Copies of this chain bind each other. A is one copy, B any other.
Amino acid sequence: MEHHVYEAEHHAFRELCKEFLAREAVPHNDEWEKAGIVDRDVWRKAGAVGLLGMDVDERHGGGGQRDFRFNAVLVEEIVAAGASGLGFGLHNDVVAPYLTDLTTEDQQNRWLPGFCSGDIVTAIAMSEPAAGSDLAGIRTTAVRDGDSWVLNGQKTFITNGELADLVIVVAKTDPSRGAHGISLFGVERGTPGFSRGRRLEKVGLKANDTAELFFDDCRIPSDHLIGQENQGFYHLMANLPRERLGIAVAAVAAAEHILSVTLDYAKSRAAFGRPIGKFQHNRFLLAELDTEVTIARTFLNACIVEQNAGRLSVTDAAKAKWWTTELQNKVADRCLQLHGGYGFMLEYPVAKAWLNSRVQTIYGGTTEIMKEIIGRSLGL
């Protein structure tokens, strides 16, 4: 099926992304994976060519394009390049709207230019050791003290955790009120009482710096509150569909990519005198995966159109999130199998694709939490 959502300007942007990644990311990827973190420099380079803050206003140095298709194109190309360490998706798709939509003019002036130039790498810290799915169960607190907020608590699994210059921290400002007592704060690198813990050793996404963060009487100016006091939960809810759509974009892109790599493999690898893809079991399997990837792409594109129209519902984002990420895992798993012993060797892209895919059904809200959301929308 021809897909009709991308237009000329997106194709041009795609070329830009491709070229940038080929030059600035692919050659360093192995080294980044070994280091467990990308070079900070690549962020500034990305900012310079316009890969950060595509939908931030031009006056702050952004692209000024409120069109999620640009975000999607960038994520697709990062996935295709295998540059999984680049947390641009988190920065552009997840963090950006908090900074553009919930901030004061002062906050925008302080943070957005660096956001767009790559001088300010961002992260968002919701999860804690004892509370992931259950966001309302977090324990980090922020207590008002004169002109400051004092934060105490611990976060974990934070993408871009070490590189981040600005972290949006979710904390309880009124612990007695559960979800109604949560607020968001911008915490900058270097704030006393804010420290980083270990870099976590992961199954995949080797080049990304997923980290623990600690807040120990960490005092921040009162105007680093982002959005309304005690409305943090609702700010998060409002932005989660966009985060989930971003994950779905990565999922479909990864599935398409692995499938295409595997198709080539299945045509060239021979056993018993013919290409392994010609064995009917494998042919049918590839036909099945190709069908599901086509269908996922169609649905994803429809969701992107909805997002651009300001209509993407929480439920549809949840559907897109769980279904495409489960599919990505299925595709990766079946494609690894099609590679035989080679699929188990890290030098084969399918192996890394399989490793990276595994977290997708977990972060941004697990498949189980997505089904809760959808189930509730059905009145159950």
Q: Which chain A residues have a beta carbon within 8 Å of chain B's beta carbons?
A: 1-2, 127, 130-134, 137, 156-157, 200-204, 263, 266-267, 270-273, 275, 277-284, 286-288, 290-292, 294-296, 298-299, 302-303, 306, 311, 313, 316, 319, 322-323, 329, 333, 336-337, 340-341, 343-347, 351, 354-355, 358-359, 361-363, 366-368, 370-372, 374-375, 378-380
Smallest Cβ-Cβ distance to A358: which chain B residue = B344
Contact, CB under 8 Å: B341 / A127: yes
Most buried by B among A290, A303, A363: A290
Residues of B close to A278: CB separation below 8 A: 380
Identical copies in the complex: 4
Which A-B residue pairs are the 5 nearest by beta carbons? A283-B375, A287-B374, A280-B280, A287-B371, A287-B375
Q: Complex formed: what's the CA distance from A367 to B333 in Å?
A: 13
Residue of B nearest to A200 (CB): B345
Contact A362 B343 (CB under 8 A): yes
Measured between alpha carbons, how far is A374 from B293 in the docked complex, in Å? 13
- Provide the residues of chain B in CB contact with A378, threshold 8 Å: 263, 277, 283, 286-287, 290
Residue of B270, B347, B367 touching A201 (CB-CB under 8 A): B347
Assess whether B374 is in contact with A361, with CB atoms less than 8 Å apart: no
B337 and A291 within 8 A (CB): no
User: How near does chain B come to A230, taking the closest CB pair, in angstroms?
Assistant: 21
Q: Which of A132, A280, A340 has the most CB of B within 10 A?
A: A280
B127, B132, B275, B281: the one contacting A284 at CB < 8 Å is: B281
